[in-house]
């Protein structure tokens, strides 16, 4: 059985195992950590520290979601009912009396993870004075500044490029849910797991009147394009004077734009879909559950979301 759920601190080792297996396929990883082979101990220590930080309930600007196989048998499109994210997940804290938020079940296996920046919640409450929690700073203060697996100049170039990427998103307003990191274990690629994780954020965005922002690496770009994210522009990581550079893409998923796109797609049925999305329910009327319509708005690969959609009414 495949299950999508919020992660808990006890999941850290399993998540780091997937991180270490998946992320080296993203050129940004090698760029920042070119000596990770030689200094594997540092690489593991600081990667784990980062995920412990994300998973700490006190750091509530972040949510970590995982895809877990619970039977030992890998399945394709079926996701258990209890795996569907309760609404609104983003407003509840990890393990907060929610039956779906468990970890460490015997025989379970985490195969994909995603880290979401949900600091928009506190920005809305506290206004522009709110300083979001900063995991990089935390790692730097706890020895990360001296980690031997990283190239410090390139780590800095990566941070600078993240700041630069903001210009692409300004027209979408102050509030967004942002996908920080995403990975699927290579042994489990192309089963729709990353899509299911993305759909969680896409659903939150539709419900809360936000967009989803991501700065995509090479593989991520293919995935998000498949999910109907729009490419806004290039983000370049390059140390001044160094020839080597890594190019990523700022991308956005705007449910309202999707709604318009669907509305122009297929007459009355599509308008029903559009109305739903704009109404922030992200629901689909039963007679609109046609695969071609779903595909057009990028949700054909989310068994989880399709389940949700079937459960919703206009
Ligand atoms: C990118 C990544 C997260 C995709 O995970 P996944 O679970 O295999 O993704 P999905 O199965 O949900 O893919 C859905 C669709 O995205 C597209 N896609 C995903 N990976 C692709 C690839 N390697 N090449 C081409 N298209 C791809 C396809 O359209 C795919 O649908 P299909 O399998 O029916 O053709 C995974 O390859 C990975 O972990 N890569 C290394 C880390 C990384 O690059 N992370 C993203 C950083 S921004």
**pLDDT by residue (tens digit) across 4-29?**
899 999 999 999 999 999 999 999 99
Strands of the chain, DSSP E: 2-6, 62-69, 109-117, 176-184, 211-216, 230-238, 245-253
State the Cα–Cα distance between residues 182 and 196, nearest whole angstrom: 11
Last residue of a domain, one of 253, 283, 301: 253
The pairing of strands 109-117 and 62-69 is: antiparallel
Judgement on whether residues 217 and 293 belong to the same structural domain of the protein = no
Judgement on whether residues 76 and 37 belong to the same structural domain of the protein = yes
Judgement on whether residues 189 and 307 belong to the same structural domain of the protein = no
Judgement on whether residues 152 and 279 belong to the same structural domain of the protein = no
State the Cα–Cα distance between residues 163 and 144, nearest whole angstrom: 20
Task: Check residue 128 and give its pLDDT.
Answer: 81
Judgement on whether residues 154 and 279 belong to the same structural domain of the protein = no
Q: Which domain holds residue 301?
A: 255-314
- In the structure, which protein residues have their CB atom closer than 6 angstroms to any atom of ligand 1? 22-23, 25-26, 112, 182-184, 189-195, 216-217, 219-220, 222-223, 226, 301
If you search the block for the tokens 């941070």, which residue do you land on?
Answer: 159
| Residue pair 169/213 in contact by the 8 Å Cβ criterion | yes
How many angstroms separate the most distant Cα atoms in the chain?
Answer: 60
Judgement on whether residues 291 and 249 belong to the same structural domain of the protein = no
Task: Check residue 256 and give its pLDDT.
Answer: 84
- As for how many domains the chain has, the answer is 2
Judgement on whether residues 245 and 299 belong to the same structural domain of the protein = no
Task: Check residue 292 and give its pLDDT.
Answer: 56
Judgement on whether residues 148 and 122 belong to the same structural domain of the protein = yes
- Specify the ligand 1 atom closest to the Cα of 248: 48
State the Cα–Cα distance between residues 314 and 279, nearest whole angstrom: 9
Judgement on whether residues 38 and 181 belong to the same structural domain of the protein = yes
218 CA from centroid of ligand 1 (Å): 10
Judgement on whether residues 11 and 99 belong to the same structural domain of the protein = yes
State the Cα–Cα distance between residues 74 and 77, nearest whole angstrom: 10
Looking at residue 154, which CATH number applies to its domain? 3.40.630.30
Beta bridge partners of 178: 117, 213
pTM here is 0.81
Judgement on whether residues 223 and 260 belong to the same structural domain of the protein = no
The segments of the chain whose pLDDT lies below 70 read 72-108, 259-314
DSSP structure string for 262-312: HHTTSHHHHHHHHHHHHTT-----GGG--HHHHHHTT-TT-HHHHHHHHH-
Task: Classify the phi-psi angles of 302: left when phi > 0, otherwise alpha if psi is within -120 to 50, otherwise beta.
Answer: beta
197 CA from centroid of ligand 1 (Å): 12
């Amino acid at each position: 059985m495949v299950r999508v759920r919020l992660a808990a601190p006890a999941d850290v080792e399993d998540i780091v195992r997937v991180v270490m297996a998946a992320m080296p396929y993203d050129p940004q990883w090698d760029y920042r950590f070119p000596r990770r082979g030689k200094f594997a101990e540092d690489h593991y220590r600081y990667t784990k520290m980062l995920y412990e930080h994300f998973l700490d309930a006190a750091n509530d600007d972040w949510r970590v979601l995982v895809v877990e196989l619970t039977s030992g048998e890998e399945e394709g499109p079926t996701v258990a009912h209890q795996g569907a994210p309760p609404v609104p997940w983003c407003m509840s804290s990890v393990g907060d009396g929610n039956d779906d938020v468990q970890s460490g079940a015997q025989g379970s296996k985490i195969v994909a993870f995603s880290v979401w920046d949900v600091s928009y919640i506190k920005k809305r409450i506290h206004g522009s004075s709110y300083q979001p929690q900063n995991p990089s700073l935390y790692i730097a203060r706890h020895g990360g500044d001296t980690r031997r697996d990283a190239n410090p100049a390139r780590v800095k170039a990566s941070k600078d490029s993240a700041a630069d990427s903001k210009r692409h998103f300004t027209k979408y307003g102050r509030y967004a849910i942002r996908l920080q990191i995403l990975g699927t274990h290579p042994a489990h690629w192309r089963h729709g797991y990353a899509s299911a994780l993305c759909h969680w954020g896409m659903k939150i965005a539709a419900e809360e009147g936000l967009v989803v922002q991501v700065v995509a690496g090479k593989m991520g770009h293919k995935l998000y394009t498949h999910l109907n994210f729009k490419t806004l522009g290039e983000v370049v990581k390059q140390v001044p004077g160094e020839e080597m550079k890594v190019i990523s893409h700022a991308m956005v998923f705007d449910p309202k734009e999707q709604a318009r796109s669907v509305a122009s797609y297929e007459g009355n049925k599509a308008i029903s879909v559009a109305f739903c999305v704009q109404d922030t329910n992200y629901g689909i009327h039963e007679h609109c559950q046609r695969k071609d319509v779903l595909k057009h708005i990028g949700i054909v690969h989310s068994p989880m979301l399709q389940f949700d959609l079937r459960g919703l009414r206009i």
